[in-house]
Amino acid sequence: MSDIFPKWTNQLPVKIIAGAILAATTGVAGVWYYFTPKYTRVGYQPIQPVPFSHAVHAGQLGVDCRYCHTDVEESWYSNIPAAETCMKCHNQVLPNDPRLAVVRESAATGEPIPWVQIHKTPDYVYFNHSAHVNRGVSCVECHGQVDQMDEVYHAKPFSMTFCLDCHRNPAAKLRPPDKITDLTWKWSDDPEAAAKAQKENGSKFVTDWKVESMENCSACHR
Amino acid sequence: MRYFLAVAMMLGVLLLGVVGFRDTTTRRTPIEVFPDMDRQPKLRPQAEDAFFADNRGSRRPVEGTMARMTPMTMGASGSSELVYGYEDLPVNTGHLTGVTNYVENIPLTVSGELLERGMGRYQINCQPCHGALGDGNGITRKLGMVVVANLHDPRIIKMPDGELFHVITSGRNLMSNYAAQVSVKDRWSIIAYIRALQRSRLASIDDVPEQLRSTLTK
């Protein structure tokens, strides 16, 4: 028999099993780590046609989010402003800056600026901005600290768990309606007091505003 | 076995080098791992759509038309008096019906609710240039915008409300129009708030209730 199976083949089954276990573990670990929006979406920071800085406009200068994203309280969709909105200030502020050439051209011709969309839910998800913003969910909960981003990147995973975590306990996230666009707002600088205030007010908001954070499929998938 | 492990390790490191880690910024378009119906052939707002010649998914209204849509309530919320945007009424145009004269007073019922709305809208849309106090000292003043109207100017105090409405709707001098940003009702609410701001500076001690006067330092 030794002609057919030399001595070294004795160890072969063990090696094959060990190799298979290693490969399977790596595969599972790889899927767990990579096949999730935490990897595929978070950190997406495309090159935009205009080097617009949210950190300067919303952060430093304190322009309200709704100056540009005007429809966020009325519509399911939070609009990207037209170039005319930029030109309301930039007809006099930095009027000849080369970085704004694309904006000036768009305002003059009406051709849209080809902004790259960063935050994108799948087409079978019917997310409604107005429903959230008018019920005390701040922009920061889904978009992160945009007021500190020079270039906007995808900060939160937007996975289904991400939505459900909040839908299962909205009281932990709700804040007073006039603080929605104040992305650095906190109940208190003291984290303990802030947590206490959130606990007290959060559940009050849920009952007062009749917040229906639905968990059934058709709430989001229609 | 040693070779196998070495090769596996090298492959692993190579793969990690290519795919990277979580929480790092990337220019690469997100991969959709299970793209089942993630992207459907339907119109999405402000997205490109090859169906139309100009590639725009969002269509512009036909030239010379206006949306009929939902009517506006004239009074506070719950009021039953309704107005449509196409009607030639002071509330829609800022002019008296049929003539070019500006309407003197806000045609809506001015309530605390409207004023509060006006304050919020003022802070969003007007404050960057006109400043929180309406004195024209907004943030843009420091950035090169030299001519910003001081809303406490007697010229503006004397303006009919309809003229202020016209300025917000159509713009004036270097200020461009806010018709697309601010709804008709919100424009009137902003005007109400501007009037409140102006009165705050025109007030005399006689406007303060007598029992509260002692609380003010002179």
Cβ under 8 Å to B: A residues 135-154:
153-154
Q: How close does chain A come to B56, measured CA to CA in Å?
A: 9
> Which residues in A lie closer than 8 A to residue B27 (C-beta atoms)?
45-47
Closest by Cβ to A22, choosing from B8, B27, B30: B8
Most A CBs within 10 Å: which of B34, B38, B48, B49, as the mutation test of the A interface?
B38
In CATH, what number is assigned to the domain containing residue B133?
Answer: 1.10.760.10
* CA A183/CA A55 separation, integer angstroms: 11
Chain B hits for A38, CB-CB cut-off 8 Å, are 22-23
Range of the domain at B82: 72-204
Is the per-residue pLDDT at A53 higher than 70? yes
Domain boundaries, chain A: 7-35, 48-80+115-219
Higher pLDDT, B214 or B38: B38
Contact residues on chain B for A91, CB-CB shorter than 8 A? 174, 176
B149-208 pLDDT, tens digit each: 999 999 999 999 999 999 999 999 889 999 989 999 899 999 999 999 999 888 888 888
A71-98 pLDDT tens trace = 999 999 999 999 999 999 998 899 889 9
Residue B179 in any domain: the answer is yes
B22:A19 CB<8 A: no
| Domains held by chain B: number | 1
> Is residue B214, in this structure, part of any structural domain at all?
no
* Domain assignment of residue B49, yes or no: no
Within a domain: B111:
yes
- Tell me whether residues A43 and B38 touch, CB distance under 8 A: no
CA distances from A35 to A182, B9, B21, B102 (A): 33, 21, 12, 62
Nearest CA in chain A to B122: A67
User: Which pLDDT belongs to residue A144?
Assistant: 93
Other beta carbons less than 10 A from residue B106's beta carbon: 21
Q: Residue B151 burial (CB < 10 Å; 0-12/13-18/19+)? A: buried
Interface check for B132 against chain A (CB to CB < 8 A): the answer is no
H or E element in which residue A128 lies: none
Residue B166 lies inside a defined structural domain of this protein: yes
The answer to whether the complex's ipTM is over 0.90 is no
In A, minimum Cα distance to B180 occurs at: A70
Instruction: Answer whether B56 sits within 8 Å of A33, measured CB to CB.
Output: no
Closest CA to B101 of B159, B156, B153: B159
Instruction: Determine, yes or no, domain membership for B100.
Output: yes
Looking at the domain assignment, is residue B217 inside a domain?
Answer: no
Q: Do B38 and A123 touch (CB under 8 A)?
A: yes
Quote the pLDDT of residue B93: 87
- Burial-class residue A140 by CB neighbours within 10 Å (0-12, 13-18, 19+): buried
Segment A186-193 shows an average pLDDT of 89
**B26 within 8 A of A43, measured Cβ to Cβ:** yes
